[in-house]
Structure 1
């Protein structure tokens, strides 16, 4: 079952398929873990039962997402041995320890404290429970740090030597870990994870506000999500710009593909807003462009020369179509996020944040936008690295295992069927969780309120007062 394609292309499709499924879960769980830490801290600080309810509401969603992320990650890692064994052999001395550090310092940390964070509040007490929730959040960030260090090294390799057998041998671990693109990629990806979670939380809050505007828990989650959108989106746009400048310095061919510049521009490059890449003729058809703006953005000089793909050898040029369109999807979603964030600030100023139906509808539509943006960004950077696995040093064609196309095609079909069945069921269950309204029950209204925390059992009149305060507070 080779679909008329080469083993290399099928193996690349298989890895892209599995990593795409995997990436959306950590992108969500990184932000959700930090969100849970904030909610738990607010509950301990204010003893407001609404925050406790939101913590328990989102911890279930986090647990499901975390589990699917672990399973999809394990499956994905096996492909390094099955489909990309030559790459694993030649680069294993560099990437193997980094991925091992991720397991030792992050995954074990998350797994060790996850049970306490999810189920241990009444068993270990508030303080240790808060520590566990915080450690899980930190663990997700450490995990992202190591994985992105590995990925960044493949884009901007540093700190190594190549031995007589053509294998990459580490010489300077500081240079390997903190390679030139790593800080930019880490900031850009973590902010993307926070925005992914913010817009997912905002969509859930908007959904329940459209059903019941008096739901205080929905108000809180929507308000927190919109603050994140308003504050973090401008930071993400700035981080993305800096990441682009770093990419221009170290991977100029990728920038040429992203911008759709088949030809070099010695007197200033335009910004191509839209066009249809013509890979056969090496030109951009139906281009809609703004003269000089590309050079102004990338080099801060409208007349600065910009290399196109014609400045690079034909066998070192990345494909254009996927990076060109994926980059524009990512940037377009980023500006839509900024628009929603600014809209929410205006609505907050007008005292209509919880009553603006159109804002709620917009937030609901934007719910999946973070997932689409992170996938578009991933496709941009990974396809733009082609035809190399280790940029400029090891080609993708040289990294492939000695496998036949029918074998890879059969396993690809199996992955597609199993993933859509298993993870489709998981996503369906997540949507069922999203649809449940976060409504306070008797335990949330009274458990560990300000009187209980002091060891005093409130009487009926006091219980009524606590309930009334929880319901009327905004």
Structure 2
């Protein structure tokens, strides 16, 4: 297939399936927590608007959750097909961790999901809130275990190697809480919350453009923008700490992210904003850079040394151009999210949050940006780890199964066709759900004064109802 060998095709196939998979958990993690907040607010205030919003978003959550489960199962099978050698060598460590994810987090999600979706009238409001909370905790638990597995592959510790070359666990605490895990867990969970906030904000903005008196859209938009202004700065701060950790444990990845081919032993490394990395000449062509800023960001010191790709053997360097650009896409979107949050905060302070049509349009445009940023971050992390599956210990070339290129190519084509049909249909259905308004009419008596984010109800157009359709 296009002259690619088996290992290249296997890498493309795994990248394709994981790219489809990660966007659904990133959304469902944040959305499960949002549903728990809505349920809790309804229980606390008795306001019907929160229950209506809960019912609106729970259907979307159910579809996204289902697609995440299906795509995750398909992805995991590749460990036994294209990457069976990796599974044999790393299985004693990663197998139990993935098993813990199923036995704890996934069972918790699955066990309470039906109650959350269908059981409110049967179990009562308090038990229903508890079930929603358990689903939210379960999604966070899944992120905990999966990121622990992946982080161990990035910064392995707590293991030994037996006589047949298998990684064997020696210290489970060190394996689970490996050096990069806390930073990556925080970074991913915050990314999931940002992704959800942007989607909710986009839906709220869409319906505000249609009717700025739409009470459900007002609550959605205010909550989403409030979440954005809080989480976006935290994410930037978490990214800074994550970068310091990556510099310590994966300096080649940092060099590729920054586009530094030459080392800077005396500090003073420039921040390359844009350019075209050229691996052949080991330069960044047409570079636009700011002197000294890379050293200041990465080490918080202008004189601390920074490594370059030239410090590493050619066959141990990650693909520079991919890592360089995916990192910049992620960072640029992060600051764009912060800018949107600040814009909304200013509008909130001026009392015209629901009247700013350009703000609402910007929120719609930014709606998918969380997914793009998650994918860009994941590409930076995974491609930046190359040429290793277990960093510094097991190469990608030594991890692939002895499968013929034709077999991998045929399954890749099948995945592409099925994924675009299946998940395309699911995504289209989710968008259709989002396009629908919250309800035909919302009784004013059910809304009352809303005690979150400083929102006050819009003036009624008559003495009983606010029309929203």
Provide the C-alpha distance between the structure 1 equivalents of 2:257 and 2:397, rounded to a whole number of angstroms. 22
| Secondary structure class of the residue paired with 1:288 | strand
**Residue 189 (structure 2) pairs with residue 209 (structure 1):** no
Contact 2:42 2:50 in 1 (8 A): yes
| Secondary structure class of the residue paired with 2:78 | helix
* Alignment correspondent of 1:377: 377
* Alignment correspondent of 1:422: 422
* Alignment correspondent of 2:177: 178
| Secondary structure class of the residue paired with 1:81 | coil
Provide the C-alpha distance between the structure 2 equivalents of 1:470 and 1:315, rounded to a whole number of angstroms. 68
Moved more, 416-425 or 305-314: 305-314
* Alignment correspondent of 1:128: 127
Provide the C-alpha distance between the structure 2 equivalents of 1:141 and 1:432, rounded to a whole number of angstroms. 27
| Secondary structure class of the residue paired with 1:273 | strand
Q: CA deviation at 1:377?
A: 0.1
Provide the C-alpha distance between the structure 1 equivalents of 2:392 and 2:56, rounded to a whole number of angstroms. 47
Q: CA deviation at 1:3?
A: 2.1
* Alignment correspondent of 2:331: 331
Contact 1:48 1:470 in 2 (8 A): no
* Alignment correspondent of 1:347: 347
Map residues 15-94 of structure 1 onto 2, 5 A cutoff.
15-94=14-93
* Alignment correspondent of 2:165: 166
Q: CA deviation at 1:96?
A: 0.1
Q: Deviations over 1:45-69 (max 9, x none)?
A: 1111111110000000000000000
Contact 2:444 2:466 in 1 (8 A): no
Q: Deviations over 1:317-375 (max 9, x none)?
A: 11101110000000000000000001111000110100001110111100000000000
* Alignment correspondent of 1:277: 277
Q: CA deviation at 1:468?
A: 5.4
* Alignment correspondent of 2:411: 411
Contact 1:49 1:445 in 2 (8 A): no
Moved more, 281-290 or 209-218: 281-290
Contact 1:340 1:363 in 2 (8 A): yes
Structure 2 unaligned segments of length 5 or more: list them: 449-459
Q: CA deviation at 1:439?
A: 2.1
Residues 470 and 162 of structure 1, relative CA distance in 2, 3 Å threshold: farther
Provide the C-alpha distance between the structure 1 equivalents of 2:233 and 2:425, rounded to a whole number of angstroms. 35
Provide the C-alpha distance between the structure 1 equivalents of 2:221 and 2:296, rounded to a whole number of angstroms. 37
Provide the C-alpha distance between the structure 2 equivalents of 1:11 and 1:279, rounded to a whole number of angstroms. 24
Q: CA deviation at 1:44?
A: 1.1
Q: CA deviation at 1:300?
A: 1.3
* Alignment correspondent of 1:461: none
Residues 288 and 42 of structure 1, relative CA distance in 2, 3 Å threshold: same
Map residues 453-472 of structure 1 onto 2, 5 A cutoff.
471=466
Provide the C-alpha distance between the structure 1 equivalents of 2:463 and 2:190, rounded to a whole number of angstroms. 38
Provide the C-alpha distance between the structure 1 equivalents of 2:283 and 2:313, rounded to a whole number of angstroms. 16
Map residues 438-457 of structure 1 onto 2, 5 A cutoff.
438-439=438-439, 441=441
Contact 1:277 1:284 in 2 (8 A): yes
* Alignment correspondent of 1:240: 239
Provide the C-alpha distance between the structure 1 equivalents of 2:466 and 2:445, rounded to a whole number of angstroms. 12
Provide the C-alpha distance between the structure 2 equivalents of 1:77 and 1:294, rounded to a whole number of angstroms. 38
* Alignment correspondent of 1:319: 319
Provide the C-alpha distance between the structure 1 equivalents of 2:400 and 2:214, rounded to a whole number of angstroms. 55
**Residue 145 (structure 2) pairs with residue 139 (structure 1):** no
Contact 2:228 2:337 in 1 (8 A): yes
Q: Deviations over 1:243-271 (max 9, x none)?
A: 00000000000000000001112232100
Structure 1 unaligned segments of length 5 or more: list them: 451-464
Contact 1:323 1:380 in 2 (8 A): yes
Residues 359 and 92 of structure 1, relative CA distance in 2, 3 Å threshold: same
| Secondary structure class of the residue paired with 2:80 | helix
Contact 1:269 1:294 in 2 (8 A): yes
Q: Deviations over 1:236-293 (max 9, x none)?
A: 0000000000000000000000000011122321000001011222211111111111
Return the TM-score normalized by structure 1.
0.94
Provide the C-alpha distance between the structure 2 equivalents of 1:306 and 1:291, rounded to a whole number of angstroms. 14
Return the TM-score normalized by structure 2.
0.95
Q: Deviations over 1:440-469 (max 9, x none)?
A: 558x8889x99xxxxxxxxxxxxxx9x957
Contact 2:92 2:169 in 1 (8 A): yes
**Residue 288 (structure 2) pairs with residue 288 (structure 1):** yes
* Alignment correspondent of 2:230: 231
* Alignment correspondent of 2:98: 99
| Secondary structure class of the residue paired with 2:397 | helix
* Alignment correspondent of 1:297: 297
Structure whose residues are more often helix by fraction? 1
| Secondary structure class of the residue paired with 2:416 | helix
Residues 290 and 314 of structure 1, relative CA distance in 2, 3 Å threshold: same
